[in-house]
Structure 1
Amino acid sequence: MSRAGAGSPDAVASTSTMNEHQHEHEHQHEHEHEPAVDARQLHATLDEYLQLEHKFQPRLCLPAECDGNEVSTGARDGAAHVLRCLKVWYDLPADVLISAVNLFDRFLTKMKVRPCHVPCITVSCMSIALREHAALTGQRAKVSVEELVSVSQSACTAGDVARMSRVISDKLALAGPHATVTPLHWLRLLRAAVLSAAATLRLRPPVQLLPESVLEKQLELAACDAACANVRSPCLALVLLYHTLEQQLVEWSRMSAVPAAAYCLYDCALQLQAYCHMCDESLRVAGARVREVLARYEARAAAPQRQRLVWRLSERTLKVLRPTDRLTSLLPTIEEQHLAAETSPPRNRSGSESSESEETSDWPRSPVLPVYCHN
């Protein structure tokens, strides 16, 4: 008898062998399933998240239009768009983006910020999120502050980002013992609870149930929109689970008959809703906002890209480029050689119509350097 624990390689190998024999008699083509999760651990984590929810929940009250003294909702969405572009550019995990957006919204909740400081705050939030993720994973941050400043074009320095990061850390009390609980943590927790209920019901769908990559992408879209900024984190996560579960049931109905146990997953979601003290009205409002954001994104993704490329040159670049406004498009007629020898006088190459005079040409030339000979 093996004395290996639950997390040892021997235990994992024996468990996988038993599962292979069991699945061989039930399903010939079975997809990989999520690992089993302890229900008591899920319940304890859920209680901990509920206690810390008020600390990490933003409550934005931004004007719709910018008046020059306060950040508007459009500026907030612009900053979130910059954060998502940095996430895509450096291929960062979703944890960094959701944490950076959460830090940005919480800082705007506590502080009145001028619009000119938004770029520096945006880069600082991304820097803090990268540092927190590196500390949690035990890895080195793959993006430096200088790279963030250069790619984001925030017109600030690394020193400005370092000072702003200290201000954000002090105002949000980031030096506490608890890590930031973002909507992504809630989404993973509630998803694990639904998957645990599906395993209890012995529900074996033909495709993966509630794919995490799809849920993370939908959460990124919702978090970057100001309409979903004040939605409770558990409410936002549960709405995304409902939305994905509905799409999953529609897909099941197209492939084959929907298992009766699949509808029991709604009962699990209802129990989570009651445990997290979410009323039906707040869930309905949050669901309408999330569906509107997702529908707007899908409409833009389905539309053909007809944007023309526009090259924008700075004044310094224009001074270096050779001007073409004085070049004529009409070229002189070139005569035959035997006629040109008799009628055409010899031409000087310096008199070409397409060349420019030395006084008017601003094409860069090499400087003339004196040469000293020691005789």
Structure 2
Amino acid sequence: MIDTVTGAQAFAVKVKGLVDLEGRCQPKITGLRLIETAQDNGLRMTTRLRELEVKDLLYLCRFFGFSSETFSLAVSLLDRFLSVMKIQPKHLSCVGLCCFYIAVKSSEDEKTVPLASDLIRISQNRFTVSDMMRMEKIIMEKLYWKVKAPTALHFLRLFHSHIQEQLDAESREILSIETLEAQLKACHCSFIFSKIKPSLLALALLCFEAQEEHDPEHMNQISEALKNLQHLLNVRDGDLVCVRELVGKCLAEYANTKCSRPNSQRLRWTISGRTARQLKHSYYKITHLPTIPESAC
């Protein structure tokens, strides 16, 4: 007799598989704590330097029009590598760009993958393509060539889709995946979330957004779905509340105009006409000014 697997059972099996893989691909807590306790003296990696690098990666993603998957994977690779290798701050830009390049090649269409030399030029770094290739090899070896780790974005989309299937048409409008993904990017820019499991971060984001809506008419269905997810992930109430509060604090700081945002100007001024002519035409459309005719005197 062939057993019939229901949608709920299939979802539970998929989540369990991702959670098991998540546990094997988490950044090492001991390594992250070393970064967290390091003094900002220019000699060691610090949380501030890591956050600045992630913001640069976010703007590179926006510049090229790459997907949220690429950004989340790049951050995951960066955190995993920083947690197992002590690097000097002067090497961070090379490490970050290599993690970004690995993520791009893994997530994006092959036709849209930029040349390594163009990445270096646009990000205003001074190392060479050869330096970048050597660093990429080191990163891959230290991560045991495991690139496709489950990210918070994977869980967020999976959980959101599962919840939406259980809601009526009006309730589905409460949790916007676009808003949730934007909030996740803000969380990625904060070091504190490097120490939190991606599945827990995704669940906390959903709970925070649902709580912010304050719509009792539709909240019962959403709350029930979130409770079931929490039970499936075996997350304690205290842990979920703690991470949800961290999410709220992070988003409040990010919404503040005084908050440090990715610097768009840093990437804009380098794209001169001369630089643009040396880059792939597929990156962006360059508007050429018409030739001014010389009038005969």
TM above 0.5, one fold?
Answer: yes
CA drift of 1:207 comes to: 6.5
Alpha-carbon separation, structure 2, partners of 1:228 and 1:300: 22
The alpha carbon displacement at 1:154 in A equals 2.1
1:12-53 superposed Cα distances (whole Å, 9 cap, x missing partner): xxxxxxxxxxxxxxxxxxxxxxxxx94333222101111111
**2:56 aligned with 1:82, yes or no?**
yes
Change over 3 Å in CA distance of 1:46–1:207 after alignment to 2: closer
Structure 1 residue corresponding to 2:179, chosen from 214, 229, 252:
214
Query: Residue 171 of structure 1: which of 133, 142, 146 is its match?
Result: 142
Among candidates 131, 148, 155, match of residue 126 of structure 2: 155
Partner of 2:251: 294
Is this contact kept in 2: 1:104–1:122, CA < 8 A?
yes
1:65-104 maps to which residues of 2 (within 5 A)? 65-104=39-78
Distance 1:139 1:212, change over 3 A: farther
Separation (CA, whole Å) in 2 of partners of 1:53 and 1:81:
24
Q: What letter is aligned with 1:221? A: A
Q: Which residue of the partner structure matches residue 190 of structure 1?
A: 159
Distance 1:195 1:206 in 2: 8
- Of stretches 186-195 and 101-110 in structure 1, the one that deviates more from structure 2 is 186-195
Q: Equivalents in 2 of 1:142, 1:175: separation in Å? A: 20
Residue 17 (structure 2) aligns with: 48
Query: Which residue, 260, 271, 278 being the options, matches 2:235?
Result: 278
- How many angstroms apart in 1 are the aligned matches of 2:246 and 2:211? 17
CA 1:206/1:182 → structure 2, altered by over 3 Å: closer, same or farther? closer
Q: How far apart, CA to CA, are the structure 1 residues paired with 2:228 and 2:166? A: 11
Distance in 2 (CA, whole Å) between partners of 1:75 and 1:127 is 19
- Cα distance in structure 2, aligned partners of 1:209 and 1:301: 29
Q: Residue 229 of structure 1 aligns to a residue in which SS?
A: helix
Q: 1:169 to 1:141 in 2, by over 3 A?
A: farther
Q: CA deviation at 1:277?
A: 2.0
Once the two structures are superposed, residues 223-275 of structure 1 have per-residue CA deviations (whole angstroms, 9 ceiling, x without a partner) of 11112211111110011101221233x3x56xxxx24xx41321221121122
TM-score (norm 1): 0.62
Q: Check conservation: 2:60, 2:123, Cα contact below 8 A.
A: yes
Counterpart residue identity of residue 54, structure 1: G
> Matches of 1:175 and 1:52 in 2, distance apart?
11
Tell me how far 1:97 sits from its aligned partner.
0.6
2:12 and 2:233 map into 1 onto residues whose CA distance is 11
Aligned residues: 250
Matches within 5 A, 1:1-375: 38-58=7-27, 59=29, 60-61=32-33, 62=35, 63-134=37-108, 139-174=110-145, 179-198=148-167, 203-205=168-170, 208-248=173-213, 250=214, 252=215, 258-259=217-218, 262-300=219-257
Structure 1 or 2, whichever has the larger Rg, is: 1
Distance 1:111 1:214, change over 3 A: same
Conserved? CA contact 1:64–1:74, under 8 Å: no
| Distance in structure 2 (CA, Å) of the matches to 1:38 and 1:174 | 33
Task: Determine if contact 1:87/1:93 at 8 Å carries over to the other structure.
Answer: yes
Identity %: 25
Kept in 2, the 8 Å contact 1:65–1:74? The answer is: no
User: 2:70, 2:103 within 8 Å by CA — same for their partners in 1?
Assistant: yes
Structure 1 gap ranges (5+): 1-36, 303-311, 313-375
Aligned-partner Cα distance in 1 for 2:157–2:230: 15
Change (3 A) 1:273 1:175: closer
Instruction: Pick the structure with more helix per residue.
Output: 2
Cα drift, residue 64 of structure 1: 5.0
- The question of whether the paired residues in 2 share the 8 Å contact of 1:184 and 1:219 is answered with yes
Structure scoring higher RCO (CA < 8 A, sep ≥ 6) equals: 2
Paired with 1:55 and 1:173, the residues of 2 have a C-alpha distance of 11
Q: Is the 8 A contact 1:39 1:196 kept in 2?
A: no
Q: Which residues of structure 2 form unaligned runs of 5+?
A: 1-5, 260-268, 270-297
